[in-house]
Amino acid sequence: MDAETTPRHYDNPVIPGFHPDPSVCRVGEDYYLVCSSFEYFPGVPLFHSRDLVRWRQIGNVLDRPSQLPLPPDASASDGIYAPTIRHHDGRFWMITTNVSQGGNFIVSAERPEGPWSDPVWIDLPGIDPDLAWDSDGNCWCAFQGVQVARVDPEAGKVLEGPFPAWSGTGLQWPEAPHLYRIREWWYLMIAEGGTERGHTVAMARARSPRGPWEAAPSNPILTHRGTDHPVQSTGHADLVTTPDGEWWMVLLATRPRGYSPGFHVMGRETFLTPVRWQDGWPVVGPVNLRERAPGRPLPVEEVPRRDDFDAPLLDPRWISPRSRPDEFWSLTARPGWLALRASGSTLDRPGCTFIGRRQEHPASRTAVLLDPGSGRAGLSIRMDEAHHYDLEVADGQVGVIARIGPLRQRLALRSVPPGPVTLVITTGPAGERPPAEGTPTGLHVAAPDFIAFHVDGERFAELDGRYLSTEVATGFTGRVIGMYATAGTAWFDWFEHSPLEGPGAPMTE
């Protein structure tokens, strides 16, 4: 790529939407990154990049039920927490925690695309485990607490320890430890202060993984707490070097909007920021929505916005709560369509048939072509079983259903002709458009966004987006938009998720 055409800047987040707790490793000129997936299957999305800016999901590390046992009633925001990915001795290693069943485990693969091994369980407490190797080939595992142990990653055995390490500056929840061997020092980077607005990144160093640890004189090395910066909750970070020796940090952060306390609706996202070293310690500037680009980015394939369900396998971006039994979905029953067969009668409880994707754009347009047959199906935007809005077709009618905590209400209803129908859900900044009719004074600008519903090109309902936010629903995930069936079998011809062009963009097909 010519220097004149090389982007000088990039936009954060580099992986938008609910992609928290990033961990990254480099093999040659290739970078690989994983994130937490919580109660969703398949688990641990795996991304590839050649420039640290443009990432493409190439799979999921945990793509078989034997790797990801989740109880049918696993709570929202349980499941898989905080993976770490590393490459050592010609093999990829990923360690993480299944908080719903089994605890900490390791999987490995010769190629990042897999197949990845079945879990090797390791008897260590806590969450957020990390792997690092010393020059003698010993493998060290740090985990929440913060503690360190020497382990055998192939057998899942603890060989030494665990013993206490450096637990931060005294803030709550010292977690997300990563060990790095950098020249003559071992560095221990952690997150503390909780994963909300008080989140920070702190650093210590020692001559050995056993300590003793010396804290960085300028801790925390990164935080946005107490500021009005548009990026908040900066923390849970990992470091990586480029082939040219530059240092970069990936981390989670949020983009809250709306009136106090602010609402983040897409969950914690993956951001990128440069790192420099001074007097033996990393120096990290504020994490901005626009940063200088690392190196000279290489061209990569643009991620398609539309899925026509013509491929023999589902794209790796599709996820389902807890499991996805083969008998409840098909790409072959009606070629060119995704067939969904109901496994439960409601989205309000676990066990429903739902296949969705993370919301990636604050101002977004998501559309499907649905043939409901004689069943009940639709398009849903959800945080969990107790917080979701559904655009549903059944018995010749389409309606909007709002589930907010203990309340469930059908808000609009109209007739639709038999056969396929186009369903569209749009989201966008609430303050950039006139309030919907009947909106109480003051609620319009207070909301983080609007969520509007359209049928065959006609908008016929709009809801406040704050009720599908982490601040209301609680937990660690973000919005997922997807297709579902709660009675009979339904067919979806295509699905498209893209940025909304302008706050009042017309919905024409």
Q: Which domains does the chain have, with CATH numbers?
A: 3-292 (2.115.10.20), 306-499 (2.60.120.200)
Buried b (16+ CB within 10 A) or exposed e, 86-116: beeeeebbbbbbbbbeebbbbbbbeebebeb
Is 50 exceeded by the pLDDT of residue 314?
yes
Given the residues 39, 51, 128, 175, the one annotated as active site: 175
Amino acid identity of residue 412, one-letter, is A
Preceding peptide of 83 cis, ω within 30°: no
Confidence band of 430 (pLDDT split at 50, 70, 90): confident
- Active-site choice (21, 238, 307, 360): 21
pLDDT band at 1 (very low <50, low <70, confident <90, very high): very low
310 included as an active-site residue:
no
Q: Which two tokens stand for residue 164?
A: 């206490």
Nearest in space to 95 (alpha carbons), one of 53, 48, 63, 142: 142
| pLDDT bucket at 285, cuts 50 / 70 / 90 | confident
DSSP for 390-433 reads EEEEETTEEEEEEEETTEEEEEEEEE--SS-EEEEEEEE-GGGS
Asked whether 343 and 323 are in contact (CB, 8 A), the reply is no
- The three-class DSSP label of residue 21 is coil
Q: Supply the pLDDT for residue 292.
A: 79
Q: Is the pLDDT of residue 310 over 60?
A: yes
pLDDT on residue 4 = 36
- Assess whether 192 carries a catalytic annotation: no
Q: What is the bridge-based pairing of β-strands 185-192 and 338-341?
A: unpaired
- Do 240 and 250 form a contact (C-beta atoms < 8 A)? yes
The amino acid present at 84, given as its one-letter code, is: T
**Gap between the Cα atoms of 485 and 491, Å rounded:** 9
CB distance 61 to 118 below 8 Å? no
In angstroms, rounded to a whole number, what is the distance separating the alpha carbons of residues 465 and 305? 23
Q: How confident is the model at residue 96 (pLDDT cuts 50, 70, 90)?
A: very high
Q: What is the pLDDT of residues 401-418, one digit of tens each?
A: 999 999 999 998 899 999
Can you tell me which residue has the tokens 């369900």? 309
Amino acid at 288: N
**pLDDT score of 2 more than 80:** no
State the average pLDDT over residues 268-275: 97
